[in-house]
Structure 1
């Protein structure tokens, strides 16, 4: 279902990852869903911390591993941060209000969303973070659906994001 846009950027520190994420914040709209993938410790929560800072959230943003969902209503747009790592069955998504939240009035960031591909909305932006042996991260953003394509396009055009079009991609 890819719509052809993929961009990447390497970051060399947690601060650089947060800075990149903060450049996404001004372009987020209600109902945007961002799926974050990467190994444990790759920087998914750091990415959300950067977005939260860009939205003006003053609360400390932490990993929702044991809460499943943490809400941050204090910024220019409500931010919902899911961590689905501990869930085993798609039916559990109903119990946590997942579908109502992602369709609601804020931007949703979903860690480990790839565990439940049938529960992903039609359109979402996937942020995959990988870490090399030296601790440098590669952040890969790929759009799925029209709104995500538009979001990625305007984010990539922001000179502060310094995103680079991935080789072999059209769009």
Structure 2
């Protein structure tokens, strides 16, 4: 089955914030179903920046820290538990099994995963894959649905 995809160019961080807000609003409409989003892109592409705006758009009012050294940062919100993963420093996917990775991908959870390829074989499949590429001073977001759930999210997103 083929699922939709779309692109969005963010000329500024404000544009990235707007895209994150729209995707969060679309995802919020599908809660409490669990969701998995993979974020792809080179170092400095904006994966953590997007994640920060996305998590804050879901209702988190505090700081959103990069989980580069902790591997995961949890955010407990009213309707969902959000887990932000950064697997850049992961040496072996088996480390994820030791930390109980499967427990994070359960009902009423939304998981954002940076560097998902480093956890291959141990992660839940993505509903959405967001690839971010640097283009001049801006960022090109390629958003691809991988499941029916991800497809519904894209259908409800205004910007893409």
Q: Deviations over 1:42-73 (max 9, x none)?
A: 11111111111211101201210001000111
Q: CA deviation at 1:76?
A: 4.3
Q: Take 1:120 and 1:152, find their aligned partners in 2: how far apart are those partners? A: 22
**1:25 alignment counterpart:** 24
For 2:79 and 2:12, locate their aligned partners in 1 and report how far apart those are by CA, in whole Å. Answer: 26
TM-score normalised by length of structure 2: 0.88
Gaps of 5+ in 2: none
Match of 1:13 in 2: 12
Q: Structure 1: which 5+ runs fail to align?
A: 164-171
Q: Which residue of 2 aligns with 1:57?
A: 60
1:139 paired with 2:141, answer yes
- Cα 1:36/1:123, change in 2 over 3 Å: closer
Aligned ranges 1:1-171 → 2 under 5 Å: 3-28=2-27, 29=31, 30-74=33-77, 76-132=79-135, 134-155=136-157, 158=158, 161=159, 163=160
Aligned length: 156
1:94 aligns to what SS in structure 2? Answer: helix
After the TM superposition, which of the residue ranges 61-70 and 101-110 deviates more from structure 2? 101-110
Give the match for residue 168 of structure 1: none
Note if contact 1:68-1:82 (Cα within 8 Å) is conserved in structure 2.
Answer: yes
- The alignment partner of 2:84 has SS state of strand
Q: Distance in 1 between matches of 2:104 and 2:20?
A: 21
Contact 1:58 1:74 in 2 (8 A): no
Q: Secondary structure at the match of 2:66?
A: coil
- Taking only aligned residues, the RMSD between alpha carbons, in angstroms, comes to 1.7
Q: Which runs of 4+ in 1 moved over 6 A?
A: none
CA distance in 2, matches of 1:72, 1:116: 21
SS at match of 1:119: coil
Give how far 1:127 is off: 0.4
